[in-house]
Amino acid sequence: MPLSLSALCTEVGRLARDTGRQLKQEREKHRPEAESKGSNDFVTRFDKQSEATLVKALSTLLPEAGFIAEEGTSTKRGERYNWVIDPIDGTTNFIHGLYPWCISLALMDGPEVVLGVVYEAGLDECFRAWKNGGAWLNEQPIAVSKCQRVADSLIATGFPYTNFGKMEQFMQSLDFFMKNSHGLRRLGSAAADLAYVACGRFDGFYEYDLKAWDVAAGALLIKEAGGQVSDFSGGDNWLFGREIVSANAGIFKELQQRIEELLN
């Protein structure tokens, strides 16, 4: 029987919401102790416990699938299907009791992302998309904004926290967009940034040094909501290439070309 992405996406959305709500309750009781994975790169026992819960449940939903998971709870690789998991995207926000932080879950069919779920706990918002199925927020269809110029746009980005190799170029990009758009926002969760582009709250988003689990689900949301995604050069190496630019169709080319000019 062919895999029903629609039905599977409903189940994954339910799983993400249940796990996120449980995390939120536990976070309200206890401030997590953070372990350092590197400079400004943190993990908590909540990340690890959440990922273990998600791996177990997703294994039941699709037993043949493997995993690309941030905390390495499972190293199983599927011949065709692989889940891409970020158990808490925005861990620093989570540690400090700030929102947004998200659970981000995506399914790859070979090299292609075909299902994505981002659950943002602070607003209890579950974003879902599957290939050719559109994008949804809490059961309502969503679409990218209709903005036609970067000058009229609100742009999101993320600050480098481990790789400062492009810091000078990045600061130049901040200077440009501060002066030539409606403004810049930095939320601390790439999954939330991408989901907010998908539903039209942001018109575009860019960041470098991201991992696959940061962007897989959110990028599919944007594509299914009518937007576009690429690496900084306009190519397709955004999932594992550690750089991404995304926007609605109206400003995408202008934004991508400006990012390429500033950051490459």
Per the prediction, the chain carries an average pLDDT of 93
34 pLDDT higher than 90: no
Largest CA distance in the chain: 54
pLDDT-derived band at 161 (thresholds 50, 70, 90) equals confident
Collapsing DSSP to helix, strand or coil, 157 comes out as: strand
Q: What's the whole-model pTM score? A: 0.94
How many whole angstroms separate alpha carbon 245 and alpha carbon 233? Answer: 9
Sequence ranges of the domains in the chain: 5-141, 150-263
For 100-133, the pLDDT digits (tens) are 999 999 999 999 999 999 999 999 999 999 999 9
pLDDT on residue 36: 56
DSSP string of 41-107, one letter each residue: EEEEHHHHHHHHHHHHHHHHH-TT-EEEETT-S-----SSEEEEEEEEE-HHHHHHT-S--EEEEEE
55 pLDDT higher than 90: yes
Question: What's the topology of domain 150-263?
Answer: D-Maltodextrin-Binding Protein; domain 2 (3.40.190)
Which CATH superfamily includes the segment(s) 5-141? Fructose-1,6-Bisphosphatase, subunit A, domain 1 (3.30.540.10)
pLDDT on residue 30: 77
95 pLDDT higher than 70: yes
Lowest mean pLDDT, pick from 23-32, 46-55, 235-244:
23-32
Collapsing DSSP to helix, strand or coil, 254 comes out as: helix
For 197-229, the pLDDT digits (tens) are 999 999 999 999 999 999 999 999 999 999 999
pLDDT on residue 40: 44
